[in-house]
Structure 1
């Protein structure tokens, strides 16, 4: 951990602390996912701060582990290129962008489908729409992590990556491209409870920020 850049290291620590807190808090009658998770903006439980706090909450150990593994694997390199301050800005912008994209997708779902009903039949019970909207909650660092993955692919497009279970290395740019296609297809077709468009939102905002930095520092001392 001492060899790890400071922002990456502290993000790992903070995410683990939030996860452990989410396990302990119910013993004191507090559901941190309800408080810190990102609710749909038309729901009564929505608060603006959730656009930040949601990215430090996770839905389980596997969710936390894979996000933190990717953060460590790609974030370490990206922070050394960007520097701590700019890497933190990049991470937060990607996370915020992912949250905003998720809100947009949920708004489209509400306007096109949910607004036509007063309640929702979940198969086991009928829930009033006001209650159902509060159940539309998003958690996880995935949007920010996907932004980091995008950043790595842009900065090191030809870097070979060994990805299980592929028996051969794949260039970072193709790895990122495949992920974009998979997330887009899953977002359009799957109903698996995963915020695929939030992942794409994190990548989109990361790409736009890199383009902005490249133009801003084109004639200066910074590459990005």
Structure 2
């Protein structure tokens, strides 16, 4: 069975306890919201790491923690491992939020422009450019809007729809320890690159360094080319790995000061 080190055990227990008391209200308050959202609170950069959206979500993250975390804690010590874990988790949140801000800023600006000059052509352009995944379900409304472009109620309904679309995107919270866990996986691959790991799917052995390369490449591809319906925070995963890489390389360069 897994041999848990002190900090790994505490992180595991905290995540499991929080999972059993988590509800929509807690996720709404402590999940990480967009910088563009009125619901954003800086404390969410930390608290989102201890919230999960379902059993599969927390199970996969905690398996990663208890498989790779103990060896790192033994190597670094508990204080350094704690700092590393939080550093990667918060760093992942910052990168995710930065990308989210860049992606959503144009959408928010488009909504503000539409509020100033609502109309069928502007509504159709907004859907095409910023909410194409909603197109099919909006076809009946758009046909009605096209037939009655000056009807006050229809115009008001279009404003409501635009506000709901941007609200659902900006106010959707991100939760999970995945950023920190991917940081742990990256550090493991950097420090113990030739350690042989045995995958479950597919059931083959692989060196840690190749597993890290695969994870990094997959998350980068998914983050750039992901579909609108993908609900995975790929850039949080990339952020965790990036911040882990930076910190491990820095610590290695300063090795003479703490070894």
Deviations along 1:10-52, whole A, 9 cap, x unmatched?
00000011111114xx6xxxx1100110000121000000000
The 1:112/1:127 distance shift into structure 2, 3 A limit, reads closer
Task: Give 1:213's aligned residue.
Answer: 251
Q: Distance in 1 between matches of 2:191 and 2:224?
A: 29
Unpaired runs of 5+ residues, structure 1, are none
> 1:202 aligns to what SS in structure 2?
helix
Which has more radius of gyration? 2
- Residues 2 and 66 in structure 2, CA contact (< 8 A), matched pair in contact too: no
Is 1:18 the counterpart of 2:12? The answer is no
Q: Distance in 2 between matches of 1:73 and 1:181?
A: 21
Q: CA deviation at 1:135?
A: 2.3
Q: CA deviation at 1:91?
A: 0.2
Task: Give 2:69's aligned residue.
Answer: 75
Q: Distance in 1 between matches of 2:107 and 2:174?
A: 19
Size of the aligned set, in residue pairs, is 215
Give the TM-score taking structure 2 as reference length.
0.77
Q: Distance in 1 between matches of 2:104 and 2:175?
A: 19
Q: Distance in 2 between matches of 1:47 and 1:166?
A: 41
1:143-182 → structure 2 map (5 Å cutoff): 143-182=179-218
- Residues 45 and 134 in structure 1, CA contact (< 8 A), matched pair in contact too: no
The 1:154/1:2 distance shift into structure 2, 3 A limit, reads closer
Is 1:183 the counterpart of 2:177? The answer is no
Deviations along 1:72-106, whole A, 9 cap, x unmatched?
00001111111100000000000001100111111
Is 1:117 the counterpart of 2:111? The answer is yes
2:236 maps to which of 178, 198, 201 = 198
> 2:22 aligns to what SS in structure 1?
helix
Give the TM-score taking structure 1 as reference length.
0.89
1:77-92 → structure 2 map (5 Å cutoff): 77-92=71-86
Q: Distance in 2 between matches of 1:21 and 1:171?
A: 38
Unpaired runs of 5+ residues, structure 2, are 115-126, 139-160
Q: Which has the higher contact order (CA 8 A, sep 6+)?
A: 2
Q: Distance in 2 between matches of 1:176 and 1:127?
A: 41
Q: Which runs of 4+ in 1 moved over 4 A?
A: 118-122
Q: CA deviation at 1:165?
A: 2.2
